[in-house]
A and B are shown apart, each in its own frame.
Chain A
C-alpha cells in the first residue's frame, strides 16, 4: 500500500467513524426511548410533602414512580394522571400511593356543629393553586366577617378547570353573615396567623 493510499484510507476511516458514531448514537437514543415506555397501570406516585385526606393533588404535590418525563405526562391516559384527584387518606412525605388511594369526587368531612359552604372562586382564578384541603382562610369584603375558616376541599369542574369552588367549614352564624353581600373574597391566612 502506497503512502497516499494509506492516508486516503485513514482519512476516509476518520470521516466514516464520525458518521457511523453519530448513527450509532441515534440508534442508541431510539432504543432508549423504546425501553422507556411503561405500563400506566403499574404507575405509583410519591408524595413530595405531607398531604391530608381529601387533598386535591397539584403537579407539585407528587412525583411519578418510576419517573416520567414532564413532556410524556401529557400523553398519559387520564386515569393515570392524579392531578386534580383527591386523596382518600392522608399521606406522609415520600410515601408511595397508587390509583386506589385516589378518588375523583372530593372527600368532605364536616366537623360537628359546622356546615359546608360552597364559595365560588370565579373572581379568584389563582386561588385553587394557593389553598387546598385543611388550608385556613378569611372571608373579607372591606372588613372580614369570617376571620378563620377551614377549607374542606377545592372543587373544580372537570370540563372547565377555571370554574372552581372552595368548600368552607363554617358555623351557621358565620354562614348567615355571608348572605348580606355577594362580593366577598377568600384570603389565605399565613400559618403564623392561625
Chain B
C-alpha cells in the first residue's frame, strides 16, 4: 500500500521529494492528532468541516490538504541545507561558544591521536617481537626434541594469559615476553614430541602425557601471540577509522555532525589540493554519468536529509507540546510521554543521521578519488603526469575560477 502510494507520488514528484515529505507529513499529522486530543474547538472544527462532510467533499478536502503539504514541503526543502548546517554548528553559536563547544572534540581528537600513536607503536613492537618469539620458540622446540624426556608442568601465568584471551582482554607485550621466556626454557629442557610405546613404564607414560601438554601449551602460546597482534591491529583500525571518518585533521567543529561534514572537503584538499566546495557542483555533473554510483550517492544524501528533518521535527514537536500541554493543563500522560520520549527519539535520529553522514561523506571522498580526472577531461585540462603536478593543476584552477587570476591554463583541443 505504502509502496504503491510512493510509486504514484514519485510519478508526480521526484523520489527524493516524495521521501523528504514524509517527516513533514508525519509532523503535521501528529500535531493535528494532538490538537484534536486537547482542543475542543479544533475537534468541533474538524467535525464540522471535515468528518461530517460527504465522501466526495472529504476527498476534495484531503486532496487540498495534500497539495498544501506538498507546497509547504517544497518551501521547507529549501531549508534542508540550513537545518543540516545548524546541526553542524554553523549558525547561532558565535565564535566564543563555537570554540568552547569545539573543545570537547579537540580533547577527543588529542586522545584519539595519542591512543592511535600508542597502539601503532604497540602493534609495531608486537609484530617485530612476533617474528623473534616464533623463531626462538621454534629453535627451543628443536633443542627439546633431543632431550628424550619430559617433566613439564604449566606455569600459572600461562593459565592467566589464556583466561585473558578467552575473556577478550588485552595481553601486553611484557606478559607475552615473560611467557615466551618460560616456554622457551621448558621447550629446551623437555621433549615436546615424546610418545609412549605399548608396554611403557608408568614414568614413560607420564612423560608422554607431559610432552603432549607441552606441545599443546606451545600452540596455545602461539595463538595468544596472534591474538595480541590481531587485537592491537583492531584497536589501531578502530582509532584510525574514528580519526578518518569523524575528524577533518586539526580543523574542529562545535558538533559531531559538523566535524563529519568537514571530512570530505578536508580529504580533497589534503590529498589533491582540490577545493571541494568549489568543484563539487562541477564534479557532480561528471558523477552523474555513472548512473549506479550517482544513485547510491543520491540515496545516501536523501537518507541524511531525511534523518536531519526527523531530528528537527521531533525537536519542534517536543518543544511545542512540552510547553503547550502544561499551559493548557491538558493530557498529563501525553506530556510525560512526549517530554521523555521526544528528546530520546531526537537523539536516536541524530545518532543514526551521524552514521549515515559518515557513509555519505565516504561516498563524497570516493567521488573525488574516482571522478576528479574525468572532471579535468570535461574541463579540457590535460591530465597531469603525476600526483604533485595534479596538485598544481587544482590549485591553479581554483585561483582562476575563484579569484579570477589570469593564470594561463593550457587546454586540450581534442
Q: A residues engaging B (CB < 8 A)?
A: 4, 7-8, 10-12, 14-15, 22, 25-26, 28-30, 32-33, 36, 59, 69-73
CA distance A4 to B102 in the complex (A): 10
Known: A4-B106, A11-B101. 12 other contacts (CB 8 A): A8-B104, A11-B100, A22-B343, A25-B323, A29-B326, A29-B339, A30-B335, A32-B327, A32-B329, A70-B40, A70-B330, A71-B331
B330 touches A69 (CB 8 A): yes
- Are A26 and B100 closer than 8 Å at their CB atoms? no
The listed residue (A15, A26, A70) touching B43 by CB distance below 8 A is: A70
Interfacial chain A residues near B38, Cβ < 8 Å:
69-71
Min CB gap A65→B, angstroms? 15
Residues of chain A within 8 A (CB-CB) of B60 are none
Distance in angstroms between the alpha carbons of A8 and B99 in the assembled complex: 9
Give the interface SS of chain A, mostly helix, strand, loop or mixed.
Answer: helix
Q: Which of B27-56 contact A (CB under 8 A)?
A: 37-41, 43
Are A71's CB and B37's CB within 8 A?
yes
The residues of B that contact A28 with a CB separation of less than 8 Å are: 326
Q: Which residues of B contact A15 (CB under 8 A)?
A: 101
Contact with A along B314-329 (1 / 0, CB 8 A): 0000000011011111
Given the interface contacts A7-B103, A29-B325, does A70 sit within 8 Å of B97 by beta carbon? Answer: no
| In the bound complex, CA of A52 to CA of B331 (Å) | 34
Report how many residues on chain B are interfacial, defined by Cβ distance under 8 Å.
29
Residue B107 CB within 8 A of the other chain? yes
Minimum CB distance partner of B37 in chain A: A71
Q: Is there a chain A Cβ closer than 8 Å to B336's Cβ?
A: yes
Q: Are B104 and A29 in contact (CB under 8 A)?
A: no
**B332 CB–A CB distance under 8 Å:** yes
Contact of B322 among A14, A26, A36, A70 (CB under 8 A): A26
Q: Kindly provide the distance from the CB of B409 to the nearest chain A CB, expressed in whole angstroms.
A: 44
Tell me which residues across on chain A come within 8 A of B325, comparing CB atoms.
29
Contacts of A70 in B (CB 8 A): 38-41, 43, 330
Contact A29 B103 (CB under 8 A): no
Contact A72 B103 (CB under 8 A): no
Q: Which A residues touch B40, using CB under 8 A?
A: 59, 70, 73
CB-CB nearest 9 A-B residue pairs? A70-B40, A29-B326, A7-B103, A36-B329, A10-B100, A32-B326, A11-B100, A69-B330, A33-B332
Interchain CB contact (< 8 A) of B335 among A12, A22, A29, A73: A29
Residues of B within 8 A of A59 (CB): 40
Is the beta-carbon distance between B329 and A33 smaller than 8 angstroms? yes
Question: CA A1 – CA B100 in complex, angstroms?
Answer: 14
> What is the interface of chain B mostly: helix, strand, loop, or mixed?
helix
From 340 to 358 in chain B, residues with beta carbon under 8 angstroms from any chain A beta carbon are 343
Q: In the complex, which residues of chain A have a beta carbon less than 8 angstroms from the beta carbon of B39?
A: 70
8 A–B contact pairs at CB < 8 A? A11-B103, A15-B101, A26-B322, A29-B323, A29-B325, A29-B335, A32-B329, A69-B330
Which chain B residues in 95-152 approach chain A with CB under 8 Å?
Answer: 97, 99-104, 106-107
- Establish whether residues A4 and B339, one from each chain, have CB atoms under 8 Å apart when the complex forms: no
- Tell me, in angstroms, the Cα distance from A71 to B40 when the chains sit together: 7
A25-B329 CB under 8 A given contacts A12-B104, A59-B40: no
Q: Which residue of A has the minimal Cβ distance to B96?
A: A10
Return chain B residues, CB-CB under 8 Å to A7. 99-100, 102-103
When distances are taken between beta carbons in the complex, the residues of chain B under 8 Å from A11 are: 100-104
Whole-angstrom distance from the CB of A57 to the nearest CB of chain B?
15
Q: How far does the Cβ of A83 sit from chain B's closest Cβ, in whole Å?
A: 12
A26 & B328 in contact (Cβ 8 Å cutoff): no
CA distance A73 to B41 in the complex (A): 13
> Which of A30, A33, A36, A73 has the most CB atoms of chain B within a 10 A radius of its CB?
A33
Report the minimum CB–CB distance from B106 to chain A (whole Å). 7
Among the listed A4, A22, A32, which residue makes an inter-chain contact with B107, where contact means beta carbons less than 8 Å apart? A4
Q: Please, which residues of chain A bring their CB within 8 A of the CB of B107?
A: 4, 8
The answer for the CA separation of A14 and B39 in the assembled complex, in Å, is: 36
In the complex, what's the smallest C-beta–C-beta distance from A107 to chain B, in angstroms?
27
Q: How far is the CB of B44 from chain A (nearest CB, A)?
A: 8
Measured CB to CB, the closest approach of chain A to B311, in angstroms, equals 15
- Nearest residue, chain B, Cβ from A26: B339
CB distance from A127 to the nearest CB of B (A): 15
Residues of A close to B37: CB separation below 8 A: 71
**Chain B residues within 8 Å of A12, by CB:** 104
A residues within 8 A CB of B43? 70
Contact flag A69-B339 (CB < 8 Å), given A10-B100, A14-B100, A25-B322: no
Least CB distance from B87 to A in Å reads 14
Docked Cα-Cα span, A73 to B325, in Å, equals 15
Chain B residues within an 8 Å CB radius of A71: 37-38, 330-331
State which residues 61-117 of B face A: CB under 8 Å: 97, 99-104, 106-107
Residue numbers in A under 8 Å from B102 (CB-CB): 7, 11
Query: Which residues from chain B contact A4 at a C-beta distance below 8 Å?
Result: 103, 106-107
Q: How far is the CA of A7 from the CA of B102 in the complex (A)?
A: 9
> Which residues from chain A contact B327 at a C-beta distance below 8 Å?
32
A33–B327 CA distance with the chains assembled, in angstroms: 9
